[in-house]
Amino acid sequence: MIELNYRNVKSEIIGEENGLNIEEEFNNYKDTIHQIIADLNSNKDKPGQNLQWMNLGYNEETIWYVKEYAAMVENRFDNVLILGLGGSELGGQAVCEALLPPYWNFLSKEQRNNYPRIFFLDNIDPDQMNSLLNILDLKKTLVNVITKSGSTAEVMAQYMILKDRMEKELCDDYRKNVIATTDKNVGILKQLSDQEGYKTFFIPDDVAGRFSVFSAVGLLPFSLVGINIDEITQGIKDMDLALKNTDINYNIAAQNALIHYLMNTKKGKNISVMMPYSSRLRYIADWYCQLWAESLGKQKDKNNNTVNTGQTPIKAIGVTDQHSQIQLYNEGPNDKIINFLRVKEFDTNLEIPNIFEYTGISYLGGKTINKLLNAEAESTMASLIDYKRPNVTISIPKITPYYMGQLLYMFEVQTAITGALYNIDAYDQPGVEQSKNYTYALMGRVGYEDSANELKQKLSDTIII
Ligand code: PA5
């Protein structure tokens, strides 16, 4: 199983001012944590609780439909293009980047075992989008439009551009190259899919976007590029079983949740850094940032008190960011808790050749890059301890579908428990909706006219469009 080591948040390691008396805190919060975990598990099937994400690993029907469709289109496409944003995109990209061989899109078809390349269009930068469209042969491209609300302006705009180009190139046949993933009842994409006859997958009710990676939102793209989704779901189930334990001493999600909560509320650590020592996990850090930020950054608690909760999540990559951010982490404000994400066994052992015998770099020869990477992580950790900066280590045995299922599910449960500790709703996003509505108003969507006038006043000096 994935492991959590929290030794370096203890006051005996980093001092009273910044550290926690862990045994005492675990004991103080024993009953609260027990109740939170018991509530999560007993409420997960109740409508309106937004806890359906806890059931996604067990959704045999979706898994079956996803596999059936992936088998049906096997060998038909050279490219898969994902259109989506935030929770509808980040998880898919994170897991694909972790599990596909690095530089997948540069490999030959044979090297990819005939599976397609995969592209994630996670922005609406006109230059980026245009360049991508110029590269892709649309006849050989399967476009998966993913939006839970079915109306996000950016995603619908991407879709409209794609639909227009595909229809011009493929005529009526273009419909076979489009799949929609959306809500089963509401939204413009659902209506369009019905009209156009696209193959459609549904995101279950009560699953917020950032918790949807194990619905068809993620499982379908994974399957299309040959990632074993049975192994992913096995990882989720095994982690789910482990995290049903209501005793904080045996539940790593509860431990890391409480550590983050206390570091924030008692020790002023307003920033949570996610630092994988693996390039393949870099998008997992992005996914975590969204999960942590959007779930926990809330103005009001459940009793309607103004609380303005949440830690700012930051992504850092080991070793890359040792050479950019670590100076700040060691000597800047002591306002962070750092999560090291470490991989015990890489697919490759890469030896550094012994080619310089009598130079200042000969000490590297004959060792492996793996050893150097580990030494770098350990030295960073040691220096953080010297500077009394709290840090935890999450260890992953290997980057496999099984462990990615475990890891992402663990972070979801950790986030849910932290939300309960803050007494906030971890599943809404009024701040995101606010700016989405402003965009609709500025772009002239019917029904948003008053808001548009108000906005123009508000932004009169700064507006540039
Ligand atoms: O987590 C969330 O709810 C958001 O990040 C959404 O996923 C994001 O705004 C995209 O929304 P939609 O899937 O409705 O297009």
Co-location of 60 and 10 in the same domain: no
Co-location of 226 and 252 in the same domain: no
pTM of the predicted protein model: 0.96
Co-location of 402 and 275 in the same domain: yes
Q: Whose CA is nearest to atom 2 of ligand 1?
A: 209
Q: Give the residue numbers spanning the domain of 171.
A: 52-231
End-of-domain residue from the set 231, 253, 277: 231
**Is the separation of the CB atoms in 290 and 210 below 8 Å?**
yes
Question: Residue 158 has what pLDDT?
Answer: 97
End-of-domain residue from the set 165, 198, 231: 231
**Is the separation of the CB atoms in 408 and 91 below 8 Å?**
yes
Q: Is the CB of 92 under 6 A from ligand 1?
A: no
**Is the separation of the CB atoms in 20 and 259 below 8 Å?**
yes
Question: Residue 442 has what pLDDT?
Answer: 86
Q: Is the CB of 342 under 6 A from ligand 1?
A: no
Tracing tokens 């929770």 back to the chain, one arrives at 87
Q: What is the DSSP string of 398-440?
A: E-SHHHHHHHHHHHHHHHHHHHHHHTS-TT--HHHHHHHHHHH
Q: Determine the residue type at 287.
A: W
Checking 346-350 for CB contacts under 8 A at 24+ apart, the result is 346/278, 346/370, 346/398, 346/399, 347/398, 347/399
- Sign, CA dihedral 155-157-160-162, equals negative
Co-location of 269 and 174 in the same domain: no
Question: Residue 465 has what pLDDT?
Answer: 57
Judge whether 260 counts as a catalytic residue: no
Name the H helices within 171-251. Answer: 188-196, 216-224, 229-243
Q: Determine the residue type at 296.
A: L
Domain assignment present for residue 113? The answer is yes
Co-location of 102 and 9 in the same domain: no
Co-location of 221 and 240 in the same domain: no
Question: Residue 463 has what pLDDT?
Answer: 62
Q: What's the 171 CA to ligand 1 centre distance in angstroms?
A: 31
Catalytic residue among 199, 294, 298, 315, which? 294
Read off the CATH number of the domain in which 104 is found: 3.40.50.10490
Torsion, Cα of 145, 146, 152, 154 (10° steps): -50
**Is the separation of the CB atoms in 242 and 1 below 8 Å?**
yes
Distance CA(296)–CA(379), nearest Å, equals 31
Residue 100: other Cβ atoms inside 10 A:
20
Domain assignment present for residue 132? The answer is yes
Domain assignment present for residue 38? The answer is yes
Domain assignment present for residue 456? The answer is no
Number of alpha carbons in the 13 Å side-chain half-sphere of residue 168? 6
Question: Residue 453 has what pLDDT?
Answer: 84
Co-location of 273 and 297 in the same domain: yes
Co-location of 15 and 95 in the same domain: no
Closest ligand 1 atom to residue 436 Cα is: 9
Q: What's the 86 CA to ligand 1 centre distance in angstroms?
A: 5
The number of distinct structural domains making up the chain is 2
Nearest to 238 by CA among 406, 65, 396, 115: 406
Question: Residue 132 has what pLDDT?
Answer: 97
- 160 phi and psi, to 5 degrees? -65, -40
Q: What's the 13 CA to ligand 1 centre distance in angstroms?
A: 40
Domain assignment present for residue 436? The answer is no
- Chunked in runs of 10, what are the mean pLDDT values of the chain (465 residues)? 98 98 98 98 96 98 98 97 97 98 98 98 96 96 97 96 97 96 95 96 96 98 98 98 98 98 98 98 98 98 97 97 95 98 98 92 96 97 98 98 98 98 95 86 87 82 65
